[in-house]
């Protein structure tokens, strides 16, 4: 007997690392239907075909309300009900300090994360109320809690998602509907490569290559895997968690309890090795991004307090010397 026998789920971001692993696990655990929504059609379709007739892929751009509504409707039309909605789609959003973030990119990132999680709830609640049961799972992040773990609009959205989930839990408990968030830590998926703006294939490679770096960051010395988050989602979707609502489950190997200090030279070496393992086109994109970042730091140096400026310059010179050696 599976933990999700007879249940129907919608998973967004289902073609990517965490969503794909969760779709697979939900089917393995007996889900009667999984609607897989994403904009990465090639991977989404391929995965759904592999998973068999209980999985259906639908192109679902979560920044579009009509797309979210269509995915919810498809679940009900094909499988007769909707038990679990896992709003998980995401992208890294634009990097940079507050003054540098383009306003339209800010809006787009909030739309993909926070607004989409809201819309997934808004359009599923009437169905779940009629059923007298339902379960929302949202993907937040460690970036909701600490600076330096994600871009500005990403971190803000992930923090907002936690409060949205808590509100939903309180508002919907009387209808038999639960809502919980998951806050993943460093999970080896394509999202890191996407942050560098490289190709999908390159991003999947980066997911593998990042494992060494991710393993060093937290108490549990291995990279987080999509399956770690999928297992958490399974628990929250199943009846095993029937008295749990409004929580944020951290799946971070202990990262938020204390980040392990890194040797900057080792980190740089790993970074260089990773870049060298990519295709030339992706290497070029990453190098150009890094150069833009360095240019911005150089421009801002004059505004930094002199004693701190000295330290930064020395560190950059050491890094540059090492890069020239390798």
Q: Confirm if 33 and 78 have CB atoms less than 8 A apart.
A: yes
Q: Is there binding between residue 241 and ligand NAD (CB under 6 A)?
A: no
Q: Is there binding between residue 91 and ligand NAD (CB under 6 A)?
A: yes
Q: What phi and psi, each to the nearest 5 degrees, are found at residue 265?
A: -70, -40
Q: Is there binding between residue 248 and ligand NAD (CB under 6 A)?
A: no
Q: Is there binding between residue 38 and ligand NAD (CB under 6 A)?
A: yes
Q: Is 158 a catalytic residue?
A: yes
Q: Which of 23, 140, 141, 155 is catalytic?
A: 141
Residues 39-68 that bind ligand NAD (CB under 6 A): 39-40, 60-63
Residues 127-156 that bind ligand NAD (CB under 6 A): 139, 141
Dump the DSSP string for 262-292: --HHHHHHHHHHHHHTS-HHHHHHHHHHHHH
Nearest CB to ligand NAD, comparing residues 38 and 83: 38
Site mask for ligand NAD (CB under 6 A), range 279-298, x = bound: --------------------
Whole-number minimum distance, CB 34 to ligand NAD, in Å? 15
DSSP character for 257?
Answer: G
- Taking the C-alpha atoms of residue 87 and residue 139, their distance in angstroms, rounded to an integer, is 6
Whole-number minimum distance, CB 113 to ligand NAD, in Å? 6
Q: Is there binding between residue 216 and ligand NAD (CB under 6 A)?
A: no
DSSP character for 241?
Answer: G
Q: Confirm if 154 and 112 have CB atoms less than 8 A apart.
A: no
Q: Is there binding between residue 95 and ligand NAD (CB under 6 A)?
A: no
Q: Is there binding between residue 180 and ligand NAD (CB under 6 A)?
A: no
Q: What is the CA radius of gyration of the chain?
A: 21
- Taking the C-alpha atoms of residue 150 and residue 95, their distance in angstroms, rounded to an integer, is 8
CB closest to ligand NAD, residue no: 16
Q: What is the 3-state secondary structure (H, E, C) of 179-228?
A: EEEEEECCECCCHHHHHHCCCHHHHHHHHHHCHHHHHCCCCCCCCECHHH
Q: Is 141 a catalytic residue?
A: yes
List 34's β-bridge partners, or say none.
9, 55
Active site residue ranges: 141, 154, 158
Contacting residues toward ligand NAD, per CB under 6 A: 12-13, 15-19, 38-40, 60-63, 88-91, 112, 139, 141, 184, 186-187, 189-191, 194
């Amino acid at each position: 007997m599976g933990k999700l026998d007879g249940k129907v789920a919608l998973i967004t971001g289902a073609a990517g690392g965490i969503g794909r692993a969760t779709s697979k696990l939900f089917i393995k655990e007996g889900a009667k239907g999984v609607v897989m929504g994403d904009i990465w059609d090639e991977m989404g379709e391929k995965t759904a075909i592999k998973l068999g007739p209980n999985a259906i892929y639908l192109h679902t751009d979560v920044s579009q309300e009509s797309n979210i509504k269509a995915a919810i409707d498809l679940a009900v039309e094909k499988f007769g009900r909707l038990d679990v909605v896992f709003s998980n789609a995401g992208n890294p959003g634009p990097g940079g300090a507050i003054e540098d973030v383009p306003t339209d990119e800010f809006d787009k990132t909030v739309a993909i994360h926070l607004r989409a999680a809201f819309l997934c709830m808004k359009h599923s609640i009437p169905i779940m109320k009629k059923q007298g049961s339902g379960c929302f799972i949202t993907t937040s992040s460690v970036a909701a809690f600490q600076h330096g773990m994600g871009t500005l609009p990403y971190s803000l959205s992930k923090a907002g998602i936690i409060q949205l989930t808590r509100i939903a839990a309180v508002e919907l408990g009387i209808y038999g509907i639960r809502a919980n968030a998951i806050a993943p830590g460093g999970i080896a998926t394509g999202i890191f490569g996407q942050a560098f703006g490289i190709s999908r294939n390159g991003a999947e490679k980066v997911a593998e290559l990042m494992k060494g770096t991710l393993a060093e960051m937290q108490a549990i010395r291995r990279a987080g895997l999509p399956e770690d988050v999928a297992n958490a989602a399974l628990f929250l979707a199943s009846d095993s968690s029937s008295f749990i609502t409004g929580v944020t489950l951290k799946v971070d190997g202990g990262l938020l309890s204390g980040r392990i200090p890194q040797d900057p030279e080792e980190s740089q070496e790993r970074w260089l090795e990773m870049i060298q393992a990519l295709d030339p086109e992706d290497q070029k994109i990453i190098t150009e991004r890094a150069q833009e970042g360095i240019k911005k730091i150089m421009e801002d140096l004059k505004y930094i307090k002199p004693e701190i400026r000295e330290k930064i310059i020395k560190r950059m010179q050491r890094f540059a010397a090492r890069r020239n050696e390798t």
